[in-house]
Homo-oligomer: A and B are copies of this chain.
Amino acid sequence: MTYDLVIRGTLVLPDGPSENSWLAVSAGKITAIGIGNAPDARASFDAGSDYVIPGVVDGQTHACSYGGLPGIRSTTRSAIAGGVTTIVDMPYDNPAPLNTVERLDEKVAAIREHAHCHVALYGTVMPGQGMEDIDPLIVGGVVAFKISTFESSPTRFPRITSEQMLDIFTALSDTVIPLGVHNEDQEIVRARIAAAKAEGKNGIEAHSASRPPAAELAATAHFLELGAAAGAHAHIVHLTTARGFQLVDNYLADGFRSTGELCVHYLWFDPERDGPELGAKMKVNPPIRPGQIDALWGEITAGRVAFVSSDHSSWPIDNKFTPSIFDAGAGVPGLETLLPAFYTAAEVQGLDAPTVTVEQLCERPARFFGLWPEKGAIRLGADADLTVLARKPQTWDSSKAHDELRWSPFDGRQFSVTVERTYLAGELAYDGTAVLNQPGQGQYVRRGHSHWFE
């Protein structure tokens, strides 16, 4: 028997790093893991002391919010270059969101045409739409649903009423499918933005106050209670303060299914320190808050964060160069920085960086979205989606990124590690310089068997 591929290095296994080890791949699956001498294979790579980790599963990507379904191509190319082998794509596509089986079919077709990495999909429900499309979408393999309490766009990213939220929760209550939410109280945010504009404010320093923690937390509490009333899994896709995770934890303690997610920029940036330099380049919603970084890492070590994602958005930089912060697009590119940025910050916090990175970026999102054990772990039988992470410091330069966007809030930031190689289903997809695989080699990934509240 000869394996298709053998990779040697420090494997980051579910219970920690194993040095001088190897894994072998057959037919796109990990079929053996060993220590010491490696067996023969048709192809091999020796990573030396570098880390070999499961490909990252980014739980929150917006591939198609700007360029529509073809946006999958550049987004997934960037993913591969960032060591991300599966993205969980949000439903708010341009011009219309994924809310029917027809739209699902179109998006799956686009994945088959464009995707460099694997793609799992969120679905949504539009205002006025009944619940009859939910079950077919679940049958079609969506991993979760998402709605918003704030209208970012009436056609693409609308606000869902309390009544419809309750209906969706009720429809999902007998399933393991989470309902995620973009959690901002629309009345507060609109009033505060109007007030800020009236006062002539227009810089990033006015952004957090215009969408205050109270707006985020009240929407969160309201959503969690509706989920509790219906008995469904309520998931907050981004929480920017420790109080948010305390809220989620209260619901858990009361016996309800609730979870909260973090994005890597909340763990890196502080508007007071970085706002003057970055301006709209760090505008995301809900906003990054001053003085929260250490508290949010505390939530991670306390086990209260479901997983960490990129919330990657494919906005061109023009979208950011607006006279007023309130006209700038919200969101940042992030697929190529997610892994090195998270690892580096974990190291700064004094954590066991390889272990916590694999936990938060690979295993936990895979379990959450029903993709484990095929994704998210170096274990027997898992898909051979793999990333080689070199202990090679780098300064981030978005002009060398693979997303065609050419900007990033991380520009100039030091990372302690570098993505050296990415394998998809056992084939080399990125060699540290170029994305080598072809559009369409990534696959549509349906929800499998794992779930969060087992």
Q: Which residues of A contact B (CB under 8 A)?
A: 1, 11, 13-15, 18, 21, 24, 26, 29, 31-37, 39, 161-163, 166, 185, 187-188, 190-192, 212-215, 217-226, 228-230, 243, 246-247, 250, 254, 373, 377, 379-381
Give 8 A-B pairs besides A24-B34, A166-B212, A217-B225 with Cβ atoms closer than 8 angstroms: A13-B380, A31-B34, A33-B380, A162-B185, A212-B229, A217-B229, A220-B225, A228-B243
**From B166, B221, B373, B380, contact of A214 by CB (8 A):** B166
- By a CB distance below 8 angstroms, the chain B residues around A1 are 37, 39
Chain B residues whose C-beta falls within 8 Å of the C-beta of A31 in the assembled complex: 34-37
Interface centre among A15, A190, A222, A226 (most CB of B within 10 A): A222
Counting from the closest, the 9 A-B pairs by CB-CB distance are A32-B34, A214-B229, A163-B191, A221-B225, A222-B222, A221-B221, A162-B187, A35-B380, A161-B187
Contact assessment for A379 and B13 in the assembled complex, using a CB-CB cutoff below 8 Å? yes
Copies of this chain in its oligomeric complex:
4
Is A222 touching B218 in the complex (CB atoms < 8 A)? Answer: yes
Taking a contact as CB atoms under 8 Å apart, the answer to whether A225 and B218 are in contact is yes
Task: Specify which chain B residues have a CB less than 8 angstroms from the CB of A214 in the assembled complex.
Answer: 166, 225-226, 229-230
Please name all residues of chain B whose beta carbon is closer than 8 Å to the beta carbon of A36 when the two chains form the complex.
26, 31
Q: Which of B35, B162, B380 contacts A34 (CB 8 A)?
A: B380
Contact partners of A14 in chain B: CB under 8 A: 14-15
Collect the chain B residues with CB atoms within 8 Å of residue A215's CB. Answer: 162, 166
Known contacts: A162-B185, A163-B187. The answer to whether A381 contacts B39 by CB under 8 A is no
* Bound form: Cα–Cα A388–B411 in Å: 55
Do the beta carbons of B162 and A188 come within 8 Å of each other? yes
Q: Closest residue of chain B to A20, judged by CB?
A: B381
**Chain B residues closer than 8 Å to A191, beta-carbon distance:** 161, 163
In the assembled complex, 6 residue pairs joining A and B whose CB atoms fall closer than 8 Å, in A order, are A15-B377, A18-B379, A21-B380, A166-B215, A217-B229, A221-B225
A266 to chain B, nearest CB (A): 18
Whose C-beta in chain B lies nearest to the C-beta of A379?
B15
A243–B231 alpha-carbon span in the complex (Å): 13
CA distance A338 to B225 in the complex (A): 32
Q: Are B381 and A18 in contact (CB under 8 A)?
A: yes
Q: Using Cβ atoms and an 8 Å threshold, which residues of chain B touch A11?
A: 380
- Cβ-neighbour of A226 out of B21, B218, B223, B379 (below 8 A): B218
Quick one: closest B residue to A215, CB to CB?
A: B162
Please report the C-alpha to C-alpha distance between residue A13 and residue B190 in the assembled complex, in whole angstroms: 53
Q: How far is the CB of A113 from chain B (nearest CB, A)?
A: 32
Q: Give chain B residues whose Cβ lies under 8 Å from the Cβ of A243.
A: 228
Which B residues touch A223, using CB under 8 A? 218
- Chain B residues with Cβ under 8 A from A213's Cβ? 229
- The closest CB in chain B to the CB of A37 belongs to B1
Can you name the residue of chain B whose Cβ is closest to the Cβ of A163? Answer: B191
CB distance from A408 to the nearest CB of B (A): 32
Complex Cα spacing A222 to B219, Å:
7
Which B residues are CB-close (under 8 A) to A32? 32-35, 39
Q: How far is the CB of A251 from chain B (nearest CB, A)?
A: 9
Interchain CA distance A185-B26 in the complex, whole Å: 56
List of B residues within 8 angstroms of A219 by Cβ: 222
Evaluate contact between B162 and A35: CB separation under 8 angstroms.
no
CA separation between A18 and B215, bound complex, in Å?
Answer: 47
Measured CA separation A31–B13 after assembly (Å): 14
Closest approach, in angstroms, between the C-beta of A240 and any C-beta of chain B? 13
**How long is the Cα–Cα vector from A352 to B59 in the complex, in angstroms?**
30
